[in-house]
Amino acid sequence: MADSKYDLVVIGSGPAGEAAAMSAAKKGLRSAVIERRSAVGGNCTHKGTIPSKALRHSVKQLMRYNTQSVFRALGEPRRLTFPQVMRTVNKVINYQVEMHTSCYARNRVDLINGEAKFLDENRVEVQLADGAKEIITSEKFVVATGSRPYRPADVDFAHPRIYDSDTILDMEHTPQAIIIYGAGVIGCEYASIFAGLGVKVDLINSREHLLEFLDDEISDALSYHLRDMGVTVRHREEYAKVTGSNRGVVMEMQSGKRISADALLWCNGRSGNTAGLGLESIGLEANHRGQLSVDEHYCTAVDNIFAVGDVIGWPSLASASYDQGRAVAAAVVGRGHRVIEDAPTGIYTLPEISSVGKTESELTNAKVPYEVGRALFKHTARAQISGERVGMLKILFHIETHEILGIHCFGAEAAEIVHIGQAIMKQPAPNNSIDFFVNTTFNYPTMAEAYRSAALDGLNRVMRL
């Protein structure tokens, strides 16, 4: 049985784990990463962010081909099967694995493939793929094991027509109709993807509105465009029973409704990957969702054991996880800490959504005097040229100081566009001002010039007061 000693060992090679290990190595620590998969990247690369966004991109390209008249010279509208689209996704995954693997080699971070289990506060046992066991000793550990789809016990996920957001990527057929249970970010993204492939979608939402953390206007726009794509959105519904057969799946609702489809995609919640880590050996206990609690330094109740990424819960974003990984490496060497706050939200529906800062409801409830500036994409030359006319940019700002309080974007490249507003929001007063967009020259034609249009619209409203 081999025995190795390190300054820092990270369990999990997703965004949070990789960032922690690389940053620690650059700070002079002897570091290693333990990854249970045979390839690095974590759930983000293999099951979550990268596959679903690559899948979305391929479907979006297909939709453009089928809806824009310029392509009719090349032939009639086409349909692609789900497995056909997934072939391009797998190419992206392979490229990501190759790129991330090279990072470990360049930074001299040891990569150990196997299942990790704590023996005590300074040792983990790693079950290797060949059956051998290795004891890893370290001064400090970072748990970055990510999360997995929540699976209720009364739903048979072994049935060939019942999927979760991980196993859906292995689907070998294209259903004519699909039920998506859970209208969170993942559920809404897959609803638009399948609708884009021409699949009939029933999207089941247990809440009053879609993605209630969004600005109301953006949530309403998402609902409209999903329905416009043919998605049936059912609010305030909860399942009572799921029955699978050779012909499909029937979901009985507590309301008495019976919904049938060729397949079911379960997207209702996620659980932290802490089972099997041997937390009982170090006096740690995960909550009912398998998540670990941490302080402002991302340290758990055990002084030398930290946790970052989806395993600690909110915000459960790959972008925030990268930052958490770098922050925990700084905390480990005693160079301060940074709690990740106000991270932008990127939702890759069709069209996509992105926001940062406060919503109108939050500002209203806090009695903050604000005004709204809007720019519709259909009024910008770049959107007219590219055919991406759906969407808008919305700026919320303080009436008196003109401080930007929130940026909300719906439409093509929203997740890119939002960062322009974010950069100004992060500036100290008086530089955080909507006036910046009026006094700045933007390239023409661009989507970015929507900021100038929105700023002028908002300032004109203030002038009328």
Question: Annotation-wise, does 189 bind a ligand?
Answer: yes
Residue in the structure block whose two tokens are 């820092």: 8
Name, in order, each residue with C-beta under 8 angstroms of 327's C-beta and a sequence gap of 6 or more: 298, 308, 337, 338, 339, 340
Ranges 124-133, 246-255, 274-283, 450-459: which has the least confidence: 124-133
- Note whether 397 and 374 are within 8 A (CB): no
Question: Annotation-wise, does 187 bind a ligand?
Answer: yes
Percent of the chain at pLDDT above 70?
98
Q: Which residue type sits at 225?
A: H
Query: What tens digit of pLDDT does each residue of 39-55 get?
Result: 999 999 999 999 999 99
| pLDDT at position 77 | 77
Rounded average pLDDT over 365-385: 96
Question: Annotation-wise, does 342 bind a ligand?
Answer: no
Question: Annotation-wise, does 215 bind a ligand?
Answer: no
- Note whether 340 and 324 are within 8 A (CB): yes
| pLDDT at position 1 | 41
Question: Annotation-wise, does 184 bind a ligand?
Answer: yes
Tally Cβ neighbours within 10 Å of residue 43: 26
Tokens matching residue 203: 């999207």
The Cα–Cα gap between 138 and 7 comes to 5
Rounded average pLDDT over 78-107: 91
**b/e per residue 20-34 (b: at least 16 CB within 10 A):** bbbbbbeeebbbbbb
Whether the per-residue pLDDT at 2 is higher than 70: the answer is no
Rounded average pLDDT over 180-186: 97
| pLDDT at position 3 | 56
Question: Annotation-wise, does 16 bind a ligand?
Answer: no
Reported as a pLDDT band with limits 50, 70 and 90, residue 465 is low
Question: Annotation-wise, does 48 bind a ligand?
Answer: no
Question: Annotation-wise, does 40 bind a ligand?
Answer: yes
Same fold, 2-149+271-332 and 162-268: yes
- Note whether 60 and 192 are within 8 A (CB): no
Q: Which bin fits 75, alpha (ψ -120 to 50), beta or left (φ > 0)? A: left
| pLDDT at position 78 | 79
Question: Annotation-wise, does 452 bind a ligand?
Answer: no
The Cα–Cα gap between 352 and 348 comes to 5
Q: Where are the beta strands (DSSP E) in 323-437?
A: 345-347, 353-357, 370-376, 391-398, 404-411
Question: Annotation-wise, does 255 bind a ligand?
Answer: no
CATH number of this structure's domain 351-463: 3.30.390.30
Domain positions in the chain are 2-149+271-332, 162-268, 351-463
| pLDDT at position 366 | 97
| pLDDT at position 137 | 96
Decide which of 124 and 75 is more confident. 124
Whether the per-residue pLDDT at 402 is higher than 90: the answer is yes
Question: Annotation-wise, does 186 bind a ligand?
Answer: yes
Instruction: Give Dmax (Cα) for the chain.
Output: 77
Question: Annotation-wise, does 188 bind a ligand?
Answer: yes
Question: Annotation-wise, does 67 bind a ligand?
Answer: no
- Note whether 171 and 163 are within 8 A (CB): yes
Question: Annotation-wise, does 87 bind a ligand?
Answer: no
Query: What tens digit of pLDDT does each residue of 416-443 get?
Result: 999 999 999 999 989 999 999 999 999 9
The Cα–Cα gap between 113 and 34 comes to 6
Q: Residue 352's Cα: distance from chain center in Å?
A: 12
Reported as a pLDDT band with limits 50, 70 and 90, residue 336 is low
Q: Which residue type sits at 360?
A: E
| pLDDT at position 340 | 65
Residue in the structure block whose two tokens are 């955080």: 432
Query: What tens digit of pLDDT does each residue of 201-238 get?
Result: 999 999 999 999 999 999 999 999 999 999 999 999 99
| pLDDT at position 260 | 97
User: What is the topology classification, in CATH, of domain 2-149+271-332?
Assistant: FAD/NAD(P)-binding domain (3.50.50)
Question: Annotation-wise, does 462 bind a ligand?
Answer: no
Instruction: Compute the mean pLDDT over every residue in the chain, rounded to the nearest whole number.
Output: 93
Question: Annotation-wise, does 388 bind a ligand?
Answer: no
Element (H, E) at 127: strand 123-128
Question: Annotation-wise, does 267 bind a ligand?
Answer: no
Reported as a pLDDT band with limits 50, 70 and 90, residue 79 is confident
Question: Annotation-wise, does 269 bind a ligand?
Answer: yes
Name, in order, each residue with C-beta under 8 angstroms of 102's C-beta and a sequence gap of 6 or more: none
Question: Annotation-wise, does 53 bind a ligand?
Answer: yes
The Cα–Cα gap between 317 and 331 comes to 20
Question: Annotation-wise, does 20 bind a ligand?
Answer: no
Q: Which class does domain 162-268 fall in? A: alpha beta
Q: Which bin fits 92, alpha (ψ -120 to 50), beta or left (φ > 0)? A: alpha
Question: Annotation-wise, does 417 bind a ligand?
Answer: no
DSSP state of 349: S
- Note whether 237 and 257 are within 8 A (CB): yes
- Nearest Cα neighbor of 32 from 120, 116, 93 is 116
Question: DSSP string covering 24-52, please?
Answer: HHHTT--EEEEESSSSSSHHHHHTSHHHH
CA distances to 81, 189, 329, 454 from 305, rounded to whole Å, are 46, 35, 12, 47
| pLDDT at position 424 | 97
Rounded average pLDDT over 173-185: 96
Question: Annotation-wise, does 41 bind a ligand?
Answer: yes
The Cα–Cα gap between 294 and 141 comes to 13
